């Protein structure tokens, strides 16, 4: 879990960690002050160490309060507090060192220009890490995840389900796979293959929904409309590796989606992810 301020993401991460019986690591970054002059380096180092200690104590208290608010006891969560000028890179570095299965992070909407030039921390994290990311909207009302909606093109459905189903099963939730059909597969080979794969999976609370697509609307808009009509608890998407040209001009459906949803978004990197929960 990554914390900038006490928010819904912290509350959600605590609840999810308790449900999954996993170890929670709470990460808090401190803004970095301008670089000190040579004469001030020693003093600055002492100030930073002291500042980190103060922030760590305050963050520990905040974490304990959040556990109490959730009606739980903090008996296994650990914290990391540090100064860093490179938030996303630091998150990924710590997640890799700790062999994290999932990164939970709050998201705040960005304006068009701000997002074009800087991006948001959450969307940048989604684009850079191979670890699954669970993005929590700023004003999200925390609830138990009971229904996942997975928007899939069905092209790599066997691999994707192997990564996703263990988490859904651990939460005893339902998984609805929605396939927006643009008519490119008139014989429905992808759909039939996906249905055959579902027959081989022991967990049965999964179903595929074929949704005729509207070529005059973006996929993101169609997904949002579907979400509005069906009210799932979490959206799942797999994002592709992107070139620099893609990042500058084309964007990513998954990263863009992380900025505007009202429910959590669970994002995997296509071909790079691993099961969130392993049995």
For tokens 């099961």, name the residue: 275
2-137, CATH topology level: Rossmann fold (3.40.50)
Please check whether the domain covering 147-264 is classified as CATH 3.40.190.10.
no
Closest CA to 266 of 229, 232, 242, 243: 232
Handedness of CA 14, 102, 158, 208 (dihedral sign): positive
Instruction: Give mean pLDDT in consecutive 10-residue pieces for the chain, a chain of 279 residues.
Output: 64 91 90 53 50 83 86 85 88 95 80 44 87 88 92 95 96 97 95 97 97 92 92 91 45 57 88 54
Q: Where are the domains of the chain?
A: 2-137, 147-264
pLDDT value at residue 259 = 56
Check residue 132 and give its pLDDT.
95
As a whole number of angstroms, the distance between CA 273 and CA 265 comes to 15
Position 109 scores a pLDDT of 54
Checking DSSP bridges between strand 206-212 and strand 174-181, what pairing results, if any?
Answer: parallel
The predicted pLDDT at position 244 comes to: 42
In this predicted structure, what is the pLDDT of residue 129?
92
Same topology between domain 2-137 and domain 147-264? yes
Q: How far is CA 60 from CA 81, 112, 141, 163, in A?
A: 10, 35, 23, 32
pLDDT at 243: 45
């Amino acid at each position: 879990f990554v914390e900038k301020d006490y928010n819904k993401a912290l509350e959600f991460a605590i609840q999810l960690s308790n449900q999954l019986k996993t170890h929670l690591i709470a990460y808090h970054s401190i803004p970095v002050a301008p670089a000190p002059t040579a004469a001030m380096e020693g003093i600055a180092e002492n100030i930073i160490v002291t500042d980190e200690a103060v922030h760590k104590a305050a963050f520990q208290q905040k974490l304990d309060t959040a556990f109490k608010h959730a009606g739980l006891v903090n008996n296994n969560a650990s914290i990391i507090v540090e100064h860093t000028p490179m938030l996303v890179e630091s998150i990924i570095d710590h997640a890799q060192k700790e062999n994290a299965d999932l990164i939970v992070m709050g998201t705040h909407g960005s304006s068009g220009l701000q997002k074009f030039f800087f991006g948001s921390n959450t969307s940048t994290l989604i684009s850079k890490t191979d670890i699954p990311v669970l993005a929590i909207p700023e004003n999200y009302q925390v609830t138990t995840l009971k229904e996942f909606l997975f928007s899939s093109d069905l092209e790599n459905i066997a691999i994707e389900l192997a990564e996703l189903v263990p988490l859904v099963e651990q939460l005893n939730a339902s998984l609805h796979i929605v396939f927006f059909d643009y008519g490119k597969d008139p014989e429905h080979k992808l759909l039939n293959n996906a249905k055959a794969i579902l027959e081989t999976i022991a967990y049965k609370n999964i179903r595929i929904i074929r949704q005729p697509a509207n070529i005059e609307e973006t996929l993101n808009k169609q997904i949002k409309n579907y979400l509005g009509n069906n009210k799932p608890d979490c959206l799942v998407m797999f994002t592709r590796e992107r070139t620099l040209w893609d990042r500058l001009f084309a964007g990513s459906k998954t990263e863009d989606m992380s900025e505007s949803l009202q429910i959590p978004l669970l994002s995997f990197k296509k071909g790079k992810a691993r099961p969130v929960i392993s049995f």
